[in-house]
Structure 1
C-alpha cells in the first residue's frame, strides 16, 4: 500500500514538470525562432513478487508478478520542426527555411540561433540588437580586381559600411554581341549601290576613365564595299564633343595608329577574325577583341611629356560561336555593347541579402558589389543542443560539432530575407496536453488520497 503512495507522488511531481514545460511553450508562442519542448514519461523500477516459470510436461508457463513503483521523466526533447515564416519587410530580418542555425558570437563564445531579427550597429556590424551578439560569416576580399568569398576560412564579424565610398574604376573591357544584317537592302530610287554598301550601323555606350569620368563610346559598323562578309568597325571616344581625345585601335597589346578595324565572318554567319589597319590579325580560335586607347583628359603627362592614354578591350565574342558574339545573319542589325566593367566613384546606399546569405551592396553609382556572406551551422544531432537563453543554443557532448558553411549545402536550408521564423508552438496541441497533464496530476493525487483512506481503515481495525 505504501508503494501506491510513492507512485502517486512520482506521478504528481513529474506531471508538474510536464506542466512547467507546457507553460514555457505557451509563454513563448510568439517568440521568434522558438522551438517547443516535449516531455516523455517512462515507468520506474518494478518490484518482483515472483518470477516467471517455464512450461513443464504437466503445466504451462507462469508469467512474472511485478508491482510498479511509479514513473519518471524519460526525456525532455526540443522539437526542431519548421516554424511558419512571417514577412516583415525589414531587410536585416532573415529566416531559415529548413535545417540550420545562424552563428553569433559574444566575445570568443560561439552561440547558435534560429532567430534572425538582426540589425546594424553604429559601426556597421550586423548584430542581434537585443543582446549585441555579432553575426558571423565571411567578408569579401579584392583579389585581382574580383570580389572573392573564401567560405573555407574562419568566420568573422560581418560589417556593412553604409555610406562608405568605393573608388572609381577605369573601364578595361567592353563586351559586344548580337547581329549585323547580312542582307543588302533594295536600292531606293536615286541611290547608288555604293550608298547601300556603305550603310552604317551605329552603337553608343558609356565608359569610364581612371578618374571615374564618363566618356561616350561610339562604334560604327560599316559594310566594306565589294565584299560579302566583311565589316569595318570605327571606334570614337567623345567625338560628339569638339575637343575629343585621340582614339586608336590595335590588336592584342599593340597600340594602333588609326581607329578602324575589319571584322571577317564565315559563310555560316559566324565570327571568323579581326584585322587592324596595320594588318595585325587575330588568332584563329578563341575570344576576339581589339585594344582601344584614348587620351585621358585632365591627366598629368607622363615622364616624357606625353599624354596619358587609357586602354580597354573591345570584345566581339568567340570565333564560330553564337552566344554573346557578333554574328552576320540575314536578320535586322542589333549589335550593341551589353556590359563594361568600369564605374564612377560611389557610396553604399543600400544592401540586399539573397537565399544563400550573400550580402550585396547597392552603390550610388549604379553598381552592385558583394560585401560578405552569412554563415550557417548544422549538427548531427540538433536535439542534443543545450539552450543558453536569449533564443540561443550551445554545443553539447551529444549534439556533435558544428558544421559551419554556406546555406543550401550539406543539408542546410536556405535563407529568406525580409522574414522571420515564428515559434513552432501549436496552441491547440499545447492546451490539449495541458488538459491531459492536469488529469494525470489529479489522478495521481487521487491515488494518494485513496491509499491514505485505505491506511486509515487499517488503523481503525483495532477500534
Structure 2
C-alpha cells in the first residue's frame, strides 16, 4: 500500500517535468531558431516477488512475478527538426535549407545556432543580434575593412553562403565566405540559451564547411527560421500531462483512504 503511494509520487514528479518542458516550448513558439524539448519516460526498478521457473517433468514453467516502483524521466530530448522559414525581405536575414548550424564566437567559446539574423558592426565584423561573431569555414571571424563601411552600396548573400558587398567606386565587390557546421549527432548538442547550442561528446566535434557541401543545407537569404514548436501538439501534450498528474494524485488519495480504514480497525 505504501508502495502505491510512492509510485503515485514518482508519476506526479514525472508529469510535472513534462509540464515544465511543454511550458518552455509554448513560451518559445515565436523564438527564431528555437528547438523544442520532449520528455521520455521509463519505468523504475521492479521488485521481484517470485522468480521464473523452467518446466520440469512433473510441472510446467512459471513466469516471474514483479511489482513496479513507478516511473522516472528517462530522457529530455531536444528535437532538431527544421522550423518554417518566415519571409523578411532583408538580405542579411538567413535561413538554412537543410542540415547544419551557423557557427558563432563569443569570447573564446564557439556556439552553434539556426537563427540567422546577422549585421555588420562598427568595426566591419559580421555579427548576430547578440554581438556574437559569425565564423567562416576556416573557423575565422568574418570582417571587412571598417573604412569601407561608409561606401557600402549593397549586400547580397547567395546559396553558397557568400556575402557579397558592393563598394562605391570599387569595381570588384568584397566577398566573405560564411561557414556551416554539421555534427555526427545533432541531437547530442546542449542548449546554451539565446537559441545557441554547444558541442558535446555525444554530438561529436563540429565540421565547418561551405553551405551546401558535405550534407549541409544551402542558404536562403531574406528568410528567418522560426521555432519548430507546433501549438496543437503542445496543447495536446499539456492535456496528457495534466490528466496524468491528476490520475497519479488519485492513486495517493486512494491509498490514503485505505490506510485510514486500517487505522479505523483499531477502534
Q: TM-score range by the shorter chain?
A: over 0.9
In the alignment, what sits opposite 2:224?
A: 420
Distance 2:60 2:213 in 1: 60
**Superposition deviation, residue 408 in structure 1:** 1.2
Distance 2:124 2:90 in 1: 16
Is the 1:55–1:61 Cα contact (8 Å) retained in structure 2? yes
Partner of residue 191 from structure 2, selected from 376, 379, 387: 387
**Superposition deviation, residue 418 in structure 1:** 0.9
- The alignment partner of 1:361 has SS state of strand
In the alignment, what sits opposite 1:2?
A: 2
- The alignment partner of 1:409 has SS state of coil
In the alignment, what sits opposite 2:142?
A: 158
Distance 1:419 1:74 in 2: 36
In the alignment, what sits opposite 1:449?
A: 253
Establish whether residue 91 from structure 1 lines up as the match of residue 88 from structure 2.
no
**Superposition deviation, residue 136 in structure 1:** 0.9
Distance 2:131 2:21 in 1: 28
Distance 2:172 2:165 in 1: 6
In the alignment, what sits opposite 2:110?
A: 110
Q: 1:112 to 1:81 in 2, by over 3 A?
A: same
Larger RCO: Structure 1 or Structure 2 (Cα < 8 Å, ≥ 6 residues apart)?
2
Is the 1:161–1:348 Cα contact (8 Å) retained in structure 2? no
- The alignment partner of 2:9 has SS state of helix
**Superposition deviation, residue 361 in structure 1:** 2.0
**Superposition deviation, residue 366 in structure 1:** 7.7
**Superposition deviation, residue 360 in structure 1:** 1.3
Partner of residue 401 from structure 1, selected from 194, 197, 205: 205
Establish whether residue 462 from structure 1 lines up as the match of residue 266 from structure 2.
yes
In the alignment, what sits opposite 1:81?
A: 81
- The alignment partner of 2:17 has SS state of helix
Is the 1:88–1:419 Cα contact (8 Å) retained in structure 2? yes
In the alignment, what sits opposite 1:33?
A: 33
Give CA-to-partner distance per residue, 1:338-381, whole Å, 9 cap, x none.
xxxxxxxxx53111101110111223358452421111101111
**Superposition deviation, residue 160 in structure 1:** 4.0
Distance 1:155 1:52 in 2: 59
**Superposition deviation, residue 163 in structure 1:** 6.7
Establish whether residue 135 from structure 1 lines up as the match of residue 119 from structure 2.
no
Establish whether residue 369 from structure 1 lines up as the match of residue 138 from structure 2.
no
**Superposition deviation, residue 427 in structure 1:** 0.3
Establish whether residue 357 from structure 1 lines up as the match of residue 176 from structure 2.
no
Distance 1:420 1:100 in 2: 14
- The alignment partner of 1:156 has SS state of coil
Distance 1:456 1:51 in 2: 33
TM-score norm. by structure 1 comes to 0.56
Distance 1:357 1:438 in 2: 45
Distance 2:104 2:167 in 1: 27
Is the 1:34–1:423 Cα contact (8 Å) retained in structure 2? yes
Distance 2:152 2:121 in 1: 16
**Superposition deviation, residue 34 in structure 1:** 0.5
Is the 2:161–2:210 Cα contact (8 Å) retained in structure 1? yes
Distance 1:368 1:453 in 2: 83
Distance 2:153 2:142 in 1: 17
- The alignment partner of 1:157 has SS state of coil
Gaps of 5+ in 2: none
Is the 2:122–2:146 Cα contact (8 Å) retained in structure 1? no
Return the index of the structure with the highest Cα Rg: 1
Is the 1:163–1:349 Cα contact (8 Å) retained in structure 2? no
Is the 1:162–1:348 Cα contact (8 Å) retained in structure 2? no
TM-score norm. by structure 2 comes to 0.95
**Superposition deviation, residue 57 in structure 1:** 2.2
Bigger helix share: 2
Is the 2:123–2:146 Cα contact (8 Å) retained in structure 1? no
Q: CA RMSD in A?
A: 1.6
Give CA-to-partner distance per residue, 1:292-314, whole Å, 9 cap, x none.
xxxxxxxxxxxxxxxxxxxxxxx
Distance 1:410 1:441 in 2: 46
